Amino acid sequence: MLWIVLALLLFIIQIAFVIIIEYQRPGKAVVWLIVLFILPVIGFLLYLFVAKEYLCPPALSRTDKGRWDGLKDDLRTRSRQRVLKDLHGKFIVQDDNLYALLKNIPVAPITACNETTVFVEGEQAFEAMLDAIAASKHHIHVEFYIIRDDQLGIRFEQLLIQKAQEGVKVRFLYDGIGSRQLGKAYLKRLRNAGVETECFFPLLTSFFHKRLNYRNHRKIVVVDGNIGFFGGLNIGDEYLGNDPKFGYWRDTHFSIKGDAVLWVQYTFLSDWHLVTGQVITDPVYYPIQDSRGNELVQIVKSGPDETILELIFSLVVSAKKRIFIETPYFIPDPGVLLALKTAITRGVDVRMIIPAVPDKNLVYCATLSYVQELLQAGGRVYGYRKGFIHSKLIISDDLALSGSANMDIRSFCNQFEINAVFFDGKVVDRLLQDFYRDLEVSEEILQSDFEQRSMLQKMQNVFARLLSPLF
């Protein structure tokens, strides 16, 4: 009898611990309480190692902090001077409150003189990356969530080795969980050739340091500080459409020239510093840009310590005409979901494209439960049928936000992401055209589809919805 009392007391202590720690996040608290009921001891251990709030890295030394702050101030000054010249006579944002938010994002300002190229397929994007790397003279910075040792991965490996042997400085950063299958032989070949390789939060150390939940989801290539690439593509054959399950892979990726490259570079070197402790502020990595473009672009660096959630919320509430969304996963924050439903009530055209065939069944079940709410409010949702859609895009009237962040809680709060706000009509129009083309190969999901679900499917959606704050 005593052991029952002790077990009950221990269980009550675990519940109290979760409630005290998570009282400001009731949704997350409820999910972890469910996990505790299902797995009384294991669930608590998972909570301790997975749910801990992100701790910022140790403070920099006075010297390093001065160098870092000086770099940021210099980049901001350079960017703002060219923006003020380029902004003359232009009205770039549909809402004053949204413009105030964008103007005051603490890390990266709006930049001018940019030229953007949009890629919707992996082959085009990867060839552009490889061509830029082949032409490099000084340095190459590569950072991806997933890097595979397959045909595409080997092409990158061989070219990086070649450039390192030519004397180009090559830095290579990969995520410890996303690239957990990347073999030691692959990394050894890079290191032996002189490529500096680093792992962002390795699997084992992340577990014991309670950082398992905080992944680097960015996809970045910067060459000579003059051209940058970012977006949704990782390095792997499936992103070329060679996965037998999904076939065609639809994504959105960008190459960019101009002042925005400085902030893509800054994002990479911030991550490099977090992993290695190196503070790299040499001006050679931040050259004066000679781009003759006239596009305004804002690079938005986000993570567990600088969320993108406020920006997404503002894009939704400021929209007057349309909100078009493409995302492989739709697990919105309650505030974003309410803002979307309110926008529909205001008469805004809200449409969203998601995959018709999921890659993660549990996440897809949760996605459908949120989709049902949007449909009930009057929104329109489509399932992409041509293959798998991995594109991450929000078009709010005449602005667009795109990059690596999905429309889910992980991207909002837990993952390190890089996105860009595009102000230029040519870029936004191109993204609009891509969206309309995707609609042509998508099938609209109707409210009646949900009414015809079996009881088992409904229960799956309910269960997945309950766990969705953990996704």
- d(CA 383, CA 358) in angstroms, rounded, equals 10
CA-closest candidate to residue 406, choices 241, 252, 255: 252
Q: Which amino acid is at 311?
A: L
Is the separation of the CB atoms in 297 and 116 below 8 Å? yes
User: Maximum distance among all alpha carbons in the chain?
Assistant: 80
- d(CA 229, CA 425) in angstroms, rounded, equals 20
In degrees and rounded to multiples of 5, residue 423 shows phi and psi of -105, -20
CA-closest candidate to residue 142, choices 274, 270, 268: 268
- d(CA 206, CA 201) in angstroms, rounded, equals 5
Is the separation of the CB atoms in 26 and 464 below 8 Å? no
CA-closest candidate to residue 471, choices 367, 394, 392: 367
- d(CA 67, CA 130) in angstroms, rounded, equals 32
Kindly write down the DSSP assignment for every residue of 407-469, as one continuous string.
Answer: EEHIIIIISBEEEEEE--HHHHHHHHHHHHHHHHTEEEE-HHHHHT--HHHHHHHHHHHHHGG
Could you tell me the CA-to-CA distances from 188 to 8, 91, 157, 197, 283 in Å, in that order?
Answer: 51, 52, 11, 9, 30
Is the separation of the CB atoms in 442 and 384 below 8 Å? yes
CA-closest candidate to residue 409, choices 345, 333, 357: 333
Instruction: Supply 44's token pair.
Output: 């608590």
Tell me what percent of the chain is helix, strand and coil, each rounded to the nearest 5: 50, 20, 30
**Dihedral angle of Cα 445, 450, 456, 462, to the nearest 10 degrees:** 90
Q: Which residues contact 450 (CB under 8 A, 6 or more apart)?
A: 368, 372, 375
Catalytic residues: 217, 219, 224, 390, 392, 397
- d(CA 315, CA 298) in angstroms, rounded, equals 14
- d(CA 172, CA 26) in angstroms, rounded, equals 39
